[in-house]
Amino acid sequence: MIQYIIRRLLLVFPVIIGVTFLTFAMLLATGDPTSAMAGEHASPGLRAAIREELGLDDPLLVQYGRFVWRLLQGDLGRSIMTRSPVQSELKLFFPATIELAMAAMFLAILIGIPMGILAGYRHNSFLDLTTTLGALVGVSMPIFWLGLMLLWFFGLKLNWFPTTGRIDQGVELQTITNLFILDSILTGNIPALVSALRYLALPALALATIPTAFIARITRSAMIDILGMDYIRTARAKGLVERLVVTKHAFKNALLPVVTVVGLQTGSLLAGAILTETIFAWPGMGRWIVNAIIARNFPVVQAGVLIFALVFIAVNLLVDISYGWLDPRVRYD
């Protein structure tokens, strides 16, 4: 097992180097940053000073080396717009996205797995058909449209949930991790918890659609496969209660593909967050990156993209490792 983990880790290194190089190169490809910083009509002297300060006249590899060195020290550069260090902005926006993504994944597992089990158990029933079709519609739905519909119906029409932001302006919350739910639980702040949950509900629901659909689909087909196995027939033949056959014998073995899909979907949740956050004005990484792209604020784009990619790589690595742990055969491939 340890050997397997080490092998997977070694494979990740070239990818990380590639990813950092790509994000580094992105900044170069976007043209002269001096005009974005000092304006179109900046004097040549000022431009030269900025180029000097940023070391833009050095050879490419030297610049890349400096970029990586700075990264290793946790320095992600400065936002062109606010002139503040990118990592201080990141500290606010990253937890917001993580909170949203985790809430969405929680919902997706909570809805998707039971739906998939039932649909797989009652294969070809009406319930199965609706689940299959529902899952297909779910993956075909533009998430930004669904978000708008939820916002319109539950936010504006029924007025059940607030539509934009993370928490009521009036609520006091001492932030520790910047994960508002966790912070309000840690400080025992009930009003803040209620407020944060109400704000989280709609964006999390919108973001959960696609993973719910994928999880339901994969759980269903894994259940169908496994319920047809001989050992299930044996379990039934020996008179085991049906509930135990399904939960203990079948579902446990159906879990493997489900875990994979949960992991892979966690990665794509980050991508979905880009659109969801824009609609609900959720102050997270996605909205931050999009706004930075529109404003051509490339240090922010670069840092945001890099963080997203690294999280994505880490999640995929965890999926691979858990796969090797759940199914030992994988290790010897």
Partner 1 sequence: MTNTIPEEQTSKSTLPQLSNSEGITTPQPQSPGRLVLRRLFRNKLAIAGIAIIGMVVLTAIFAPVLAKQTPDKNGIFKTYLRETKIPPSLEHPMGTDDLGRDMLSLIIYGSRISIRIGFFSVGLAIIIGVILGALSGYFGGAVDNIIMRLMDIMLAFPSILLALVIVAVIGPGLLNAMIAVGIVSIPTYARITRASVISERTREYVQASRALGANSFRILAQHILPNALSPIIVAGSLGIATAILDAAGLGFLGLGAQPPTPEWGLLLSRNKSHIFTSPWMVVFPGISIMFLVLGFNLIGDGLRDALDPRLSNVGLKAPKL
Binding footprint of partner 1 on the chain (CB under 8 A)? 14-15, 18-19, 22, 26, 29-30, 123-124, 132, 136-137, 139-146, 148-149, 151-152, 156, 221, 224, 267-268, 270-271, 274-275, 278-279, 289-290, 293-294, 296, 298, 301, 305, 308-309, 312-313, 316
Contact 325, 273 (CB under 8 A): no
Place of tokens 């000092």: 38
Q: How far is CA 215 from the centre of its chain?
A: 15
For the CB of residue 17, give the shortest distance to partner 1 in the complex, in Å. 9
Nearer Cβ to partner 1, position 63 or 221?
A: 221
CA–CA separation, 306 and 76 (whole Å): 10
Measured from the CB atom, is 26 or 194 closer to partner 1?
26
Structure tokens at 85: 């260090």
C-alpha separations of 48 from 64, 83, 176 in Å:
20, 19, 42
Q: Exposed/middle/buried for 134, CB within 10 Å: 0-12, 13-18, 19+?
A: middle
Shortest distance, CB of residue 173 to partner 1, whole angstroms?
A: 30
CB of 145 to partner 1, least distance (A): 3
Supply the minimum distance, in Å, between the C-beta of residue 221 and partner 1. 6
Please identify, using beta-carbon distances, which residue of 12 and 194 lies nearer to partner 1: 12
CA-based angle 331:332:333, to the nearest 5? 100
Cβ 283 to partner 1, closest distance in Å? 17
Minimum CB separation of residue 314 from partner 1 in Å reads 10
* H-assigned helices in the chain: 2-29, 33-38, 44-54, 60-72, 86-121, 126-140, 143-150, 180-186, 190-227, 230-237, 242-244, 252-280, 285-294, 298-326
For partner 1, the closer CB: 258 or 270: 270
Please say which residue, 46 or 137, places its beta carbon nearer to partner 1: 137
Q: Coil, strand, or helix at residue 157?
A: helix
Nearer Cβ to partner 1, position 123 or 236?
Answer: 123
